[in-house]
Structure formats: structure tokens, C-alpha cells
Amino acid sequence: MAVRKRSKSETGAAAGRDMKTARRLAAVNVVVSVAAAAALLIAVNVVGDLAAVRRSYRWNVETLARYGLSPTAKRVLDEIGQKIILTSIYTSADPKKKPEDYLPRVRDLLNEMGEYGRDVTVINVTTDRQKAEVLSRLRRRLDAKAQDQGEAIKAFQSLANRQIPQYDQIIGRWKAYPAKGWLGGFGLAKAVENALTANKEDLRSAAADVRAQLAGSALPNYPRMTETVTEALENVRGRLEGIRRSLREIGTIPEKANQAKPQLSKALAAATAAAEKVAAAAGKVGAPEPADPPAVLNKIAAASTELANAAADAQAALEKFSADCGEGQYLPYARAWVVDMVPLPARCQGLAGAARRLTEQALGVRETVKVEVQKTFIVEQIRPVMPALEAEAKKIEAGLARLLAELGEPDQGTKDILETARKDEYLQAQSEPVGQLLERLAGLDKLESQDELPDQIKQENIVLVEVGEKAGVVSMDDVWPLASRRDWEMGLFGEEEERRVFNGDMAISSKLLSLALPPLGEVVLTFFEDIPPYMVQGRPAIAGQIPSIWLGALRERLEKADLKVTEWNLAREDEPPKAEKGRKQVLLVLPPPEPMPMPPMGGQELPQWNDQQVEKIRKAIDAGANAVFLARYLRPTRWGMTESPQYGLAEYLKTDWGLEVKTDLRVVQALADELNPGTCKLPVVRWWYMPLSTFTKHPVGEPLRARRLYWADACPILKAKDSHPGVTVEDILVVPKGSATCWAASNAQQLERQMWLGEGSGIVPASAQGDLAPPLALAVEARKTIGERTARIIVLGVGYSFIDQFLTPRVPRFEADETMESDPPPTGNVDLIINSAYHLVGQGDFIGAGPAIVQPIRIIDPGMMAVVKIGFGLIWPLLVLVVGVIIMVVRTQ
Amino acid sequence: MRKVLTLARRELSAYFFSPMAYVVAFLFLLTVGMLFLWGLKVPFLKIRIEPVFRTGAESTLRPLFDVLAYGLVIVVPLLTMRLMAEEFRSGTIETLMTAPVTDTDVIGGKFLGAMALYLLLLAATGVFFLLVVIFGQPDWGVAGMGYLGMILLGASYVSVGLFASTLTGHQLVAGLIGIAILAFFTAGLYLLVLVLPGSYGDAISRANMINNFSYFPKGVLDARSVVFFITITAFFLFLSVKVLESRRWR
């Protein structure tokens, strides 16, 4: 085979081509392989990001449970089958609420929820633009849900715009009404003018309020706008109807006056005639002395009796006439009704009275004095007053004539108004649309949970929680409640410092729970109360020392925690309300009222707390309900009494559950008195707000251990001495053994007095007879087997700390410079009841985890800190450098 | 693998026989110590970082790790910039290329050498954790995961730095390229998310190294992030090998 040899130049060119091809191939190889690697990189990461993979291959290896989701939060997220949007809006400029201090943990939590949940979107708002977007989204949602409300409000605005000018015209006409016009005689013209002006102002003010809400950047509060509009319209309608009714009624007066004229005139004429008769019997001033004074006195007595009767009849006739004309509402305001500043009926009454007195005097003088004296009496005492008597009778008659004349003939302008009113047409153009709009407003659906949202969203540092179509806000005080005082006890911080702990897991889970799931259980507020209606005088209200009416905030929080709240008044019902199928009940039993003293003879017997009521509770618990008993230190309620009244459930709790609730002792927390070693002082604030978070590991209390909770009027609960087989008692909240400045005082009244008198120092703890030293239990759970089930009760000796007056005001606190500051209200207390309720209805899994208790870096004295800083901050890096220098030196040598 | 380890050993000793490692280690520990014990305050930039170790603070290194994750964007490229660039500049690359080692061996060895130095630096921060143990109550799970995260993050940073070093014979340029790439994968993507709409933002956010790292200091072992760091590290090592390979035919 012949082979053609390539020339040198040919070989070089081929090699060059080969090289070029090889390079091209290599480049293609690199590009393809890099592209494949990139694709693989993206594919692997995309697969890893799929929700199912993400959830399955994620482990939290924390040992102190600070950053991860609690089992409760996971369960809540698992059970909500709706879209969830969690938005953190932490933009406060308050130095105490700086977002950089508080936001990172919130974001961590929300991101964790976003990672865990199947359909959870997390938005972290940091800029005004983002905030505006959130508000705009919420606004669209609110507008969509409140479409009917929005239309009704628009209708109101249009009505107001239409009617305000109409009012101006009508008011103008009333202003022009003559001062001496017929209606002016009743003062009605001015009243109508004022009422119409008030209507105009109400419409204007409500329209302005609504306009401001709809135009502003804030969320429109449709429930409140509806309320404002309804209130304004009701006021407007009330006034319009009042005017229309008055004019209708007053329009009948001329006719009635003309009808009553003969009878009234006759009555008054009879009175005038009788007065003349009396004067004639007495004789004129200056006439000779009567020859037979007893006979004259008899005549005077007879005539004046007649006058008294006639005047009384005239009075009755006038009053009847007034009553006929609009039930006495109008005539007393008529100008002619009053003669010389005294109303006509009163004048008649005065005349009748004078006539009666004259009769009595005449008969008395005739019977008791000599004839000579009788003569003098007639001449000097009776005759001089006769002209006045006659004149009064005539004045009344003339007054009546004037009245009837005025009432019977209105002027033409008034006649026109009255005629329109009679046909029910006056102000109808204004009243009818108002009534129709009110009906429309009354028929609107209630906008659930929307009344709070617009206000809550204005707060600083919030988390907006949206589940499906519902939305709610979790405030900073819920996410970051105040820390327990445990840190202070460790001596780390001053009392004045506001320390907060992160409770976001519990707060946000609870909000999700309440927005998304049906009630987890039912809390039956159980009490014995008999509150008489407001107007029933002299009958005392019967209620215990925690009346149910004081628990508004507690009820609201229970409902927000997804618990239904119902009532069982033992004074009226024998059984608790029937539970819905599948929903467990827990009784929340308030302290019973103390026995009331027996009523005086003939008084109505008062309902009393007795064994029957205890039996009702026992029966309900035996039938399957668990219960939370609220107890408190019971203050002596009667004057002069020093002993606490008896707790009506003490015997039951003792015999059935082996618990002795010492409501006669008050747990007192004092401070060590530095001036008198070994003694204590009682600060006023601590007396009312006793900080205590020493919860045990019981599931109800454990999540609250890091929270700063305050209590008042707490009483201890002891285990009864005699054994109670089958009952297991477990403490929830305790004053631990060795707490030197805390004890249960039997002389609380005396201590309180001392404190108020400024003598609350130098007190020796637990010095009084009957005082108890720690350990003390303030909340316990007792369990026992009833039939086939385990019955449970929880007794809270801190029951007073759940009332509105305690939960709603802020907690006072003295700063180091003795100025007074305040902390947020102690709303966290309620979590103790919520947790108890969850626990007792078998939903303990929903008890929030609460803040983790983690010991922070302990106090380091400045000397030690300096050593640490120099040693670890400077010497340690220098050491590395020195080692390097040595090595370099050795190497160069 | 033996070859890789030999190369790694050589690389590590090269670090210790040059003042570079000591200076970087000194500066690194000084900075970490300052942040840990004194904090940082730059009023005109409105930067305020509280000291991690202070009375009443959480017993954790988490804030330190969070700051370090950003700080290492600069530190690691400074450590890795000489890995290949120095070989290119001094011409020793030719010797290396003719030695019986593959490109993968070379890159693997360089990577492991740099990682070893990085791990030593990281281990040196253990004294600060010791302080937390003595004066507080640390969460061992969180601390362990924090260090694991730092290792994974460091590995990806080193691979990026190494890749940058393969691109040029100038150390400084290599360092700047490394910093630029890491800045893009951290702060750059963070800023990009702010301007992009929701779904794109989420996707971009997933590629952010800091976001992937953020789970570890919370005590969360997220397989996604582990996979992310491993794949990113592998990808940049692969790119480095390819760049090195290209020298043969360029």
C-alpha cells in the first residue's frame, strides 16, 4: 500500500488543526460537564426543598428547647388545614422595644413555622413599603368581607349628604317662626329647632368619622363604623319621631280646648260665685258689727266649704284637660297656663286650701270663744281678706278664659304645620330613610373578630396571623412577656429593670388555634348569685367574693384560647348547661357567697348557699365534669368583724378531695428589712401585686415558670391531715421551702393596716399565732377514681388575681429614683386557667410550651471580667502570633 | 487519596512556614475576641453589636457565629488566594503538572490543606465556648450544630476561594474574585431578594449561603442545608479542577 508522505508544512498545519479540534472538544467537554454539574447542583437542591423532603429530613438537636417549635405548635400547624400567613411587623422606635433586640427571635420562630408547616407563608416586614402592602392586603380582605357593611355605610354617607342641607332649610324656617307664635307658647319652636340642629350635627359628625376612617391609611373598622352610624341614626330617628309625635299630639289641643271650654268655664264660674258668697256672708269692710256672730260664722263656714269644693273641682277639671292634651306634657309649658308665675291648677288648689282653712277657723271661733270676740274676729280678721279671695277667684277665671282663647285659635302658619303633622307627613321625608337604613344596619351579619383587628394593628411590634379568611394580631406583650423575678432573685438585675422572655411559640400557637379550630372544650362558669334588678330597692345582691360579673377579661381570654364559655348559676339551675357532643366540660367554680342575715319580719327570704348547692357540684363532677375551684383569702366583710367568713366549699374539698383550703390566711411576700436584720418590710406594691412564678413540673404550671406573674389575696392549700385513700394531690404553684420573706399570715388585716399607716417594717415573718411558713401550695391538682374514670380538680388559691380590676390596669413599679413607672397588665395570669382548662378537658397537648428557662451568663465581677478580656481577647491571639514569630525565627536560623 | 493527603500536608506546612497563617490567625482571633468580649459599635454606620459574653446574655455562641459567617467572606479568600495563584506566579505549577498526580489530586490536596488551617482557626474559638461553659448554661446541641454549620460554611467558602485562586496568577486578584463571589452568594443575594417579587425571592433566598447556614446555630440539622453546602463545595471544586485542566489545552 502506497503511503503518501506529508511534507513538513502539511504536518504542521494538520497538527494545528488537530490541536484546534482538540481544544474545541476540550472546551465543549468543559462547558457540557460544567453545565451538567450545575444542573445536578440545582436539581439536588430543588428536590431537597420539596415540602415532604424538607419536613422529613430536619432534626432539632437542641437540649434546652429555645429556638425550635414546641410539640404544641407542631400539632396546631398539623391540624390547621388552611393557608396560614404569618407577618412580623416590628418597627417600634421606642428604645425599650427596639426591633433589633426583639425581632430576631420572632423571625426565627416564624421561619421555623414556615419550614414546618405545609402551607405557611412567612413575611418579615421591615420597610414602610412592606407594611403598606400588608395593610393594603388586609384592607382588601376586610373590604371583601364587609361588603354589606361598606354599602350600608356608603348609603349613610349619601343620606347625610342629602339631609344635612335639608336640615339647614328646616332649621331656618323654625328660626323664623314668630316668638309669640302659637307653638312658641309651648316653648316647642325652640325645642324643635334645637333637636333638628342636634340631628344635623350628629349626621355631620358620624359622616366625618366614617370619612376619616375610610380615607386614612389605617384599616377601616367596619364594626365600629357601623356602630357609630347606627348610634347617630338612632339618635336622629328618636328626635325626629319625638318632634313628629309632639306636633301630632299638640295639634289636637285647639279642638280639645274648644270642647273643654264649657265645662272648664262652668267650674271656674262656680268657684267665683262661691267666693262672692263667702264675701257676702262676711260683710264688707267698714259695715256694722254683725248682730248674731255665731250665725254669720255658720254662713261663712258653709260658703267657704262650697268655695273649697268648687276650687278643687276646677283644679281637677284643669288637670284632666292637661292630661287629655298629650298626657300633661304640653299644657304646663303653655304661656297662659301660668298666671303671675303660678300655674292655674296650683292657684285653684291654693284657693281651695284657703277656703278650707277659713271654714275651720270660722267653726273653731264659733265653738270656742265668746260672742264679743267672735264679732271682733269677723270684723278684723275675716272681712279684710275677703276682697283678695274674690280677686283670686276672678283672676283664675280670667286666666282660664285667656288660656282657652289662646289654645283654641292657632295662627295660620302653625295651623299648616299642625295639619301636616296630623297627616303624619311632617319630617317624614327625613325620618323614613333613616328608619329604612337602621333596619338595613340591624340586618347585617356580625363581623367576627374584625372589631379588634384595626385597633390592634396600630400597636407597635406585632405579629399578624392570618388563617384562611380570619386574621388576628399577637401583641408584643404576648410574644415577649415580662420575665419572672427569678433573675432578680439571683441578684443579676435591679428591680427597676424591665426584662422580657420569649413566649412567641405559645402566643402564636394560641392565636392560630383560636382562629382556625372549633372550641377545644367548654368552661362552665359556676357560681351562686342572685342579683336583684337595679330598681329593686332594699334587696341585697347575693354573690361570692369573686362575682361572675368581674370576670369579663377572663371570659374573653378563654374564648380567644378556643374555649367556649357558658354559665351555671346554682341559685337558679340544678344542672350545668348540656355539653355539645364530643366537647368536654370543665366547671370553673367561684367562691360561694357567705350566709346572709335573715330578713326583718315580713321580708322576702333570701336565697342561701347550702348543702344542696354542694351536692349539685358533686353530682356534676361525679357525672364526668372536671373542675377548677377558684379560692382566695376571704376578707371579713362586715363592720367590726375580724374573722374571715367561711369558704362554702371548704368541707366538700376536705371530705371528698382531702384538700384544706385556708381562705382565712393570706400569703404575704415581704422584703428583707436592711435596717432591722431578721425582720421584713411590706412594700405596698407587693402587697397587691405579689410576684411569684415558682411553678412545679406539673404540665399546667411548667410553661409559666419563666413568666413574671403577679397574684393578690392568695390563700394556701394544705393536704388534709386525715388520709384520703385514692386521692392523689400534686402541687402546681408553690412558695418553696426556705423562702424567708414569704408566709401565710393569719393577721393580714392587721398587717395591711400597719402597712398603710407606714409601719410596715420591722415585721417578723410568720410571727403571729396561726401563721404558716413555707413550703406553701397556692395551686394544686387532686385526682381520684370515680367509677371507671379519673376525676380531676384543680384548686387555685389565687382566684382573686383573675378579676378585671386586677387584669386590666398596668402594674405599678418604683424606679431606683423612686419615680413610679408601670409594667404591662398581668394578663399572663389567665394562662394558668387556660392551661388548667386544657388539661382538664383532655387537651393537654395544646398547652403552650412557654418560655424556656435558661440560665444566662451569670454575674461576673469587674476584676474577673478584666482578666477574661485580657486573657482571652488579647493574650490568646498574641500567643498564636508569638508561636508564629518563634517558628519564623527558628526557620531563618 | 494518599497523594491528596500528601499534597494537603505540604499545603498546611506551607501555611505554617509562612508568616501569613499566623498573621491571619492573629487577626482572626483578635476580631473574634473583640466581638465576643467587647462587641462592636460604629455610630456613624449605626452598627451596634453587643458583646456576646456579658452578664445576663444568652449562654450561646450563636451571635458570634452569625457575625463570623459574614466575616469569613473576607477572611477565607485571604487564606486561599495563594493556593493556586502562587503556583502560577512562581511557575511551580509546571512541576506540579508533571508530577504523577491528577488535577483532582492537586485541587483535593489544596482544598484539604486550606480546610485544615480553617479548622484550626475554628478550633481556636473553642476557648470562647469554654467561657460560656464556665459562666453560663450552654446548649450543647446548639453549640455542636453551630460548629458543624461553621465547618460546612467554611468548606464552601474555601472551595470558592480555591476556585478564585485557579483563575489568576495574582494573589490579590484571586482574593478579590473570591470575596466578590462569596459576597454575591451572601449579601448580594440578600439584597436581590429585597427587590424581587415573592416567588423569585424565595428561590433566590434558597441559594443564599447565610440563609442555609442560619439553621445550624439554632440547633437545627437541616438536610437541605447540608446538601446545599456539600453540593456547592463539590461544584466549585469541580470548577477548579476544570479550570486547572484547561491549562493543559489552552
Whole-model pTM? 0.68
Q: Compute the mean pLDDT over every residue in chain A, rounded to the nearest whole number.
A: 85
Residue pLDDT, tens place only, A406-444: 888 888 888 888 888 888 889 999 999 999 999 999 988
For residue B34, what is the nearest residue in chain A, using CA coordinates? A873
Higher pLDDT, A878 or A71: A878
Across the interface, which of B53, B139, B227 has its CB nearest the CB of A63?
Answer: B139
- The pLDDT value recorded for residue A743 is 93
Asked if B135 and A860 come within 8 Å (Cβ–Cβ), the reply is yes
A888 vs B contacts (CB less than 8 Å): 19, 22
Highest mean pLDDT among A476-480, A500-504, A878-882: A878-882
Cell (9 digits) for B101: 498526580
Q: A857 and B57 in contact by Cβ < 8 A?
A: yes
Residue A853 has pLDDT above 80, yes or no: no
Give tens-digit pLDDT for A270-316: 989 999 998 888 888 888 888 888 888 999 999 999 999 999 999 99
Return the pLDDT at A792: 94
pLDDT-based confidence at residue A502 (cuts at 50, 70, 90): confident
> What residue type is assigned to position B113 of the chain?
G
Find all residues with CB under 8 Å of A11, minimum gap 6, and list them: none
pLDDT at A55 over 90: no
Question: Cβ B220–A45 below 8 Å, yes or no?
Answer: no
Using a pLDDT cut of 70, give the percent of chain A over it. Answer: 91
Which pLDDT does position A602 carry in this prediction? 53
On the question of pLDDT at A199 being above 90, the answer is yes
B235 with A44: Cβ contact below 8 A: no
Short-list A244, A249, A250, CA closest to A424: A244
Nearest to B141 among A45, A61, A858 (CB): A61
- Say whether pLDDT at A193 is over 70: yes
Give which of A67, A101, A124, A502 to mutate to test B binding, by max B Cβ within 10 Å.
Answer: A67
Pick B121 or A539 by higher pLDDT. B121
**pLDDT exceeds 60 at position A479:** yes
Of B26, B48, B132, the CB nearest to A877: B26
Give the gap in angstroms from C-alpha A789 to the nearest C-alpha of chain B: 41
Is the domain A518-597+606-846 a CATH 3.40.50 member?
Answer: yes
Facing B136 at nearest CB: one of A487, A855, A880? A855
Band (pLDDT 50/70/90 cuts) for residue A221 is confident
Smallest CA–CA distance, residue B228 to chain A, in Å, is 6
CA A117 – CA A577 distance, rounded (Å): 37
Mean pLDDT, chain B, whole residue set: 88
Domain ranges of chain A: 147-250+423-442, 261-409, 518-597+606-846, 860-893
> pLDDT tier at A12 (50, 70, 90 boundaries)?
low
Q: Please determine, for residue A160, whether its predicted confidence score (pLDDT) is greater than 90.
A: yes
Q: Examine the pLDDT at A348 and tell me if it is beyond 50.
A: yes
Instruction: Note the pLDDT of residue A837.
Output: 94
The alpha-carbon gap from B21 to the nearest alpha carbon of chain A, in Å, equals 8
Q: How confident is the model at residue A104 (pLDDT cuts 50, 70, 90)?
A: confident
Asked if B242 and A880 come within 8 Å (Cβ–Cβ), the reply is no
Least confident range from A321-325, A583-587, B240-244: namely: A321-325
Residue A157 pLDDT: 94
- Predicted local distance difference test score (pLDDT) of residue A27: 81
Phi and psi at residue A713, to the nearest 5°: 50, 45
Distance from the A709 Cα atom to the nearest Cα atom in chain B, whole angstroms:
20
CB contact under 8 A, A880 and B124: yes
Smallest Cβ–Cβ distance between A880 and the set B26, B144, B218 belongs to B26
Round to whole Å and give the CA distance between A462 and A474.
6
Q: How far is B135 from chain A (nearest CA, A)?
A: 5
* CB-CB under 8 Å, B249 with A855: no
Give dist(CA A478, CA A480) in Å, integer.
6
For A177-188, the pLDDT digits (tens) are: 887 788 877 778
A491 pLDDT more than 50 = no
For residue A6, pLDDT over 80 is answered with: no
The pLDDT value recorded for residue A488 is 41
**Which site among B231, B239, B241 would you substitute to test the A interface, given the most A Cβ atoms closer than 10 Å to its Cβ?**
B231
pLDDT one-digit tens code per residue, A237-264: 999 999 998 888 888 888 888 888 888 8
Q: Is the pLDDT of residue A161 over 90?
A: yes
Integer Cα distance of A18 and A13 in angstroms? 9
Model confidence at A487, pLDDT cuts 50, 70, 90, reads: very low
Rounded to whole angstroms, how far apart are CA atoms A653 and A657?
5
Instruction: Provide long-range contacts, Cβ within 8 A and 24+ apart, for B205-208.
Output: B206/A45, B206/A49, B207/A45
Which pLDDT value is given to residue A11?
65
The reply to whether residue A61 touches residue B218, judged by beta carbons under 8 angstroms, is no
What ipTM did this prediction achieve?
A: 0.88
Is pLDDT at A615 greater than 90 in this prediction? Answer: yes
Confidence of residue A683 (pLDDT cuts 50, 70, 90): confident
pLDDT beneath 50, residues of chain B: none
> Residues A117-121: what's their mean pLDDT?
85
Residues of chain A with pLDDT > 90: what percent? 32
As a whole number of angstroms, the distance between CA B74 and CA A581 comes to 65
Q: How many CA atoms lie within 13 A of A491 on its CB side?
A: 4
* Closest by CA position to A447, among listed A210, A206, A84, A150: A150
- Is residue A150 within 8 A of residue A179, CB to CB? The reply is no
| Model confidence at A494: pLDDT above 60 | no
- Tell me which of A27 and A109 has the higher pLDDT: A109
